[in-house]
Amino acid sequence: MENILICQDIIKLPRCLIKMELQKAYATVEWDDLLLFSKGDSYSMMTVLRPFATFSKAYGLNLSKGKSNAYFNGVPDSLKAEIMQVSGLVEGALPFRRSPLVSWDKVCKPKQEGGLGLMNDIIWNKAAVRKLVWWLATKPDHLWVRLVNHTYLRGQNWQSYSPNTASSWCWRKICQTKEIFSVAYQQQTWSTQNGQEYTVAKGYEWLREKGQKVQWCGYIWNKWSIPKHSFISWIYQHGNMNTNAKLCNLGIKEDNTCYICGSGVEDMDHLFFDCRYGREFIAIVGEWLRLDIPADGLLD
């Protein structure tokens, strides 16, 4: 959050911002972003870029021209053209955004359903607020319940109660969850009499959209897999890896050739199974594990 605020304040001045993406050996599956700031003139720009050229030669982290841009604020068009000619970059448009590889709804599903098992904060908040409604029905001696009964309900039936405009924002939101969970109480038979007391975890599980279990979960998420490799495999299963072929379809790049072998269209199947370097690696691993790998590779 602090980096975003700093970036917004700096770019308001007559300056130049360079968004650089560094291409590594595994650039098709992971990228490093770098933001560089300079004054809005060619001398300052080259002063910033010159040390990076030395760094690139030393560590092998090359600038990906197709994914790197220069952004200007308060810089004349003639000076922009000079800076872009010297740097070799093209002008980008603010704000720059990145589309997620996988939608948030899928990410928040359990791993058995193809997600990462993260909590959906919006759904969890609704389930947590519903806990307050549960208190209203089951804990009459609770201090907050007594306050609500005295201030808002005043003897009215809770099921038919509707808050007025003078009610607090928080209380109106609590009342909205009553409608959401009205069906849940009938289906789940949450009651203190039968021992099925409401919990936030139960409410969350009822609210979230269920998905079908995937067969590949155990192959990706297990104690033998390296977490980074598991995550890359998970992205592959969802078919949303930022390969050159996908970036060309989105209009971000013009060349869809594989970075690693220099031939063939770099889609996911090519990257993992059809690239000649990938085939050599699979053959070496197969020989080490004493597996009979087909000559045409795993994909065929």
As a whole-number percent, the residues of the chain with pLDDT over 70 amount to 81
11-59 pLDDT tens trace:
555 577 777 776 654 444 344 667 788 888 888 888 888 887 787 778 7
pLDDT class of 153 with cuts at 50, 70, 90: confident
Residue 30: the pLDDT is 47
By the 10 Å C-beta count (0-12 exposed, 13-18 middle, 19+ buried), 203 is classed as buried
Residue 1: the pLDDT is 38
Residues 6+ apart with CB under 8 A from 237: 114, 214, 216, 220
Judge whether residue 10 has pLDDT over 90: no
How large is the average pLDDT for residues 74-87? Answer: 84
Judge whether residue 208 has pLDDT over 50: yes
Bigger pLDDT: 117 vs 15? 117
Q: Is 53 left (phi over 0), alpha (psi -120 to 50) or beta?
A: alpha
Residue 213: the pLDDT is 92
Mean pLDDT highest for which of 4-13, 15-24, 54-63, 78-87?
78-87
How large is the average pLDDT for residues 178-190? Answer: 65
Judge whether residue 112 has pLDDT over 90: yes
Q: Is 189 left (phi over 0), alpha (psi -120 to 50) or beta?
A: left
213-271 pLDDT tens trace:
999 999 899 988 899 889 989 998 998 888 888 888 877 778 888 888 888 888 988 88
pTM of the model: 0.59
For residues 37 and 10, the answer to whether their CB atoms sit within 8 Å is yes
Alpha carbon 112 to chain centroid, angstroms = 19
Residue with tokens 């155990």: 218
For residues 98 and 67, the answer to whether their CB atoms sit within 8 Å is no
Residue 26: the pLDDT is 45
Residue 2: the pLDDT is 41
Mean pLDDT highest for which of 14-18, 154-158, 161-165, 201-205?
201-205
Two structure tokens written together for 54: 């030395």
Residues 6+ apart with CB under 8 A from 17: 7, 10, 11, 35, 36, 37, 70, 71, 72, 73
Task: Name the residue among 29, 163, 33 with its Cα closest to residue 96.
Answer: 33
How large is the average pLDDT for residues 60-85? Answer: 80
Instruction: Give the Cα separation of 203 and 184 in Å (integer).
Output: 8
Residues 6+ apart with CB under 8 A from 293: 282, 283, 286
How large is the average pLDDT for residues 132-150? Answer: 79
Bigger pLDDT: 287 vs 215? 215
Instruction: Give the Cα separation of 72 and 188 in Å (integer).
Output: 58
Residue 13: the pLDDT is 54
